[in-house]
Structure 1
Amino acid sequence: MNKPRRKFIQLGAMLGLGAAVMPLQFCAAPKKEEEAIGDMASAKSKLSNFGIQLYSVKEDMAIDPVATMRTLASYGYKQFEGFDGGKGILWGMQPTEFKALMTEIGVEMIASHANVFENLETQAAQAAEVGIKYLICPWIGPQKSLEDYKKKAAEFNQIGEKLKPFGIKFAYHNHDYTFVTQEGAIPQDILMDNTDPALVDFEMDIYWVHVANAKPAEYLAKYPGRFRLCHLKDAEVGTGDPHQRGVLLGAGEIPYADLIKQSKELGMEYFIVEQERFPTGTPLEAAAANAKYLSALEF
């Protein structure tokens, strides 16, 4: 075979191979892209930070608050929400001492439940010195009328205004009673609609919304951006006394993976464990179990 003919045959073979391969390549590319999109859609997230309301271990805090907070940090909690256990919101410590402890154990004190109706400025000054972001009203009690709830809303606005110079925000933590219909309306709606979003945020206790037979997901969507903090505790399957249905996270019927994902999309920033009922074990054991659950939870 002469050289020109041999070169022609080789060139033809190369072109034929290229023509055969090119369609396969172009067909394969969209498939890879679809797989990548599917992988992105199925990708799961985890909470990088979550906290605990120290009231969950109130007995231990009363005995030795420093040792208790060290133990909680060892479970993986990166945030604390405090309460006034009779020693003030800093548990009898000086601000510099308290800040040093938080730095040492790698925890941020993000908020504290407090009596915001008394000595507000003194508490705000302490909170600001240690970097607390929120002072939270944990309880107002059932009000006699919707007009009384409107008065509370006005008072909340005033509290929020007073906290502004300290760089601290005010929030209200709900119980079940604000989700029970009264005079044809939902009291929580009155609080939401009559407070200034620039002055008042809300902390949704998801358990109390759930056991009041309201729907946490729907309520979060109704007021996007208003709930910046939430309490996580689970409710056993079924009905019964709402004060006696608390169980460890993952042992009940509240769909936390879905709720956490949705609430983050609606402005939720802080996810705080609160355990008030202990069917088995000690409060610290419950805190450890809840931290383990949240560390593994994918959404």
Structure 2
Amino acid sequence: MYNRKEFLKRSGGAALGLMLGSTLSAACNTSSRVKINGSIKALGIQLYSLRDDLPKDPKGILKQLAAFGYKEIESYEGAQGMFWGMGNKGFKSYVDGLGMKIVSSHCDFRADFERKAAEAAEIGMSYLICPYVGPQKTLDDYKKLADEFNKAGEICKKNGIRFAYHNHDYSFRQQDGQYPQDIFMQHTDQSLMDYEMDIYWVVTAGQDPIAWLKKYNGRFKLCHVKDRKKGAVPQKGEPNLSVIVGTGSIDFKTILAAARAEGMQHYILEQEAYEKAPVECVKEGAAYLNKLVF
């Protein structure tokens, strides 16, 4: 069974401190670069944020999320599958009744993907997303992955939905003089797939999310809104340093305004490390983001 938690444990390497400097400052303090005039119309949440609580009471957790003001759901493949034991139609019916919509799910695109795409399309989902592939030994390996992404995109397109890839920090660190993320962007067909920018991991790699959003205008359609501990300097093997959204170092007001200008459509909170109970973390994050004007 695909286990995203194990993937995340393997992905926690950090950028060198010298890389951080000006690019991290740009990501966290860019208040004059983008016009501020909007808000999130339908805040989403990645259910992995509640990975320990969700399997015990899927319906109860979803009900709480609706009460916190979440409108969109991004699922993932846990032990009960991405529809949490309800089946695709049962899950849709339940979240519809709560005033929410499932728009996407992380999943293993190498296993039974035709069925997953058909089930997602059947209930009106927009995306299936690869959450992690891990650092590769060579740049050619990233090109081979891009070919796999295109094939997954073809399956999704055939079913009337889209495929996307969710980044970690490794693709935003140079390898043999190139950024693996550039290879992904340049070797995948825009007609077949989009990208989900995890803002936290871009910043952790010492990169400026706004620069990447502008470089590949219109290709990042979803984003993970995940904050980073103030004053944290990336170091090799660091633990996940995400904090409650709105309490960390990332300037979401400016970054999300830039994202909107570059074609972003879905804003999805994800919480990976906890300062208090996970449910309280995502409740406070929702309160911050639902009031944010950008």
- Asked if Structure 1 and Structure 2 have the same fold, meaning a TM-score greater than 0.5 normalized by the shorter chain, the answer is yes
* CA pair 145-107 structure 1, distance change in 2 beyond 3 A: same
**Separation in 2 of the partners of 1:158 and 1:48?**
32
Q: Does 1:61 align with 2:26?
A: no
Moved more, 235-244 or 212-221: 235-244
What secondary structure does 2:185 align onto? helix
Percent identical: 44
Q: Does 1:259 align with 2:255?
A: yes
What secondary structure does 1:111 align onto? strand
What secondary structure does 2:51 align onto? helix
Moved more, 128-137 or 170-179: 128-137
Q: 1:296 aligns with which of 288, 291, 294?
A: 291
Q: Counterpart of 1:116 in structure 2: which amino acid?
A: F
Q: Is the 8 A contact 1:159 1:170 kept in 2?
A: yes
Gaps of 5+ in 2: 1-33
- For 1:84, the equivalent position in structure 2 comes to 77
- 1:69-108 Cα offsets, whole Å, 9 max, x none, are 1110110000000001111111111333222112210101
TM-score (normalizing by structure 2): 0.85
**Separation in 1 of the partners of 2:251 and 2:274?**
20
Larger RCO of the pair (alpha carbons < 8 Å, separation 6+): 2
In terms of Rg, which structure is larger?
1
* CA pair 81-198 structure 1, distance change in 2 beyond 3 A: same
**Separation in 1 of the partners of 2:109 and 2:82?**
12
- For 2:152, the equivalent position in structure 1 comes to 159
Q: Is the 8 A contact 2:36 2:257 kept in 1?
A: no
Q: Is the 8 A contact 1:89 1:123 kept in 2?
A: no
Q: Give the Å deviation of 1:165.
A: 1.8
- 1:31-69 Cα offsets, whole Å, 9 max, x none, are xxxxxxxxxx98732211110000000111110111111
- For 1:35, the equivalent position in structure 2 comes to none
- For 1:20, the equivalent position in structure 2 comes to none
Q: Give the Å deviation of 1:152.
A: 0.3
Q: Is the 8 A contact 2:131 2:165 kept in 1?
A: yes
Q: 1:282 aligns with which of 261, 277, 281?
A: 277
* CA pair 254-164 structure 1, distance change in 2 beyond 3 A: same
Q: Counterpart of 1:271 in structure 2: which amino acid?
A: Y
**Separation in 1 of the partners of 2:181 and 2:113?**
24
Q: Give the Å deviation of 1:217.
A: 0.7
Q: 1:52 aligns with which of 26, 45, 54?
A: 45
Q: 1:111 aligns with which of 84, 104, 128?
A: 104
TM-score (normalizing by structure 1): 0.84
Q: Counterpart of 1:67 in structure 2: which amino acid?
A: G
**Separation in 2 of the partners of 1:43 and 1:151?**
40
Q: Is the 8 A contact 1:163 1:169 kept in 2?
A: yes
Moved more, 188-197 or 124-133: 124-133
Q: Is the 8 A contact 1:98 1:130 kept in 2?
A: no
- For 2:266, the equivalent position in structure 1 comes to 270
Which structure's residues are more often helix, by fraction?
Answer: 1
Aligned runs of 1:189-228 on 2, under 5 Å?
189-228=182-221
Q: Counterpart of 2:100 in structure 1: which amino acid?
A: V
CA RMSD of aligned residues (A): 1.4
What secondary structure does 2:114 align onto? helix
- For 1:150, the equivalent position in structure 2 comes to 143
**Separation in 1 of the partners of 2:54 and 2:103?**
17
* CA pair 42-147 structure 1, distance change in 2 beyond 3 A: closer
- For 2:27, the equivalent position in structure 1 comes to none
Q: Is the 8 A contact 1:202 1:227 kept in 2?
A: yes
**Separation in 1 of the partners of 2:195 and 2:214?**
14
Gaps of 5+ in 1: 1-40
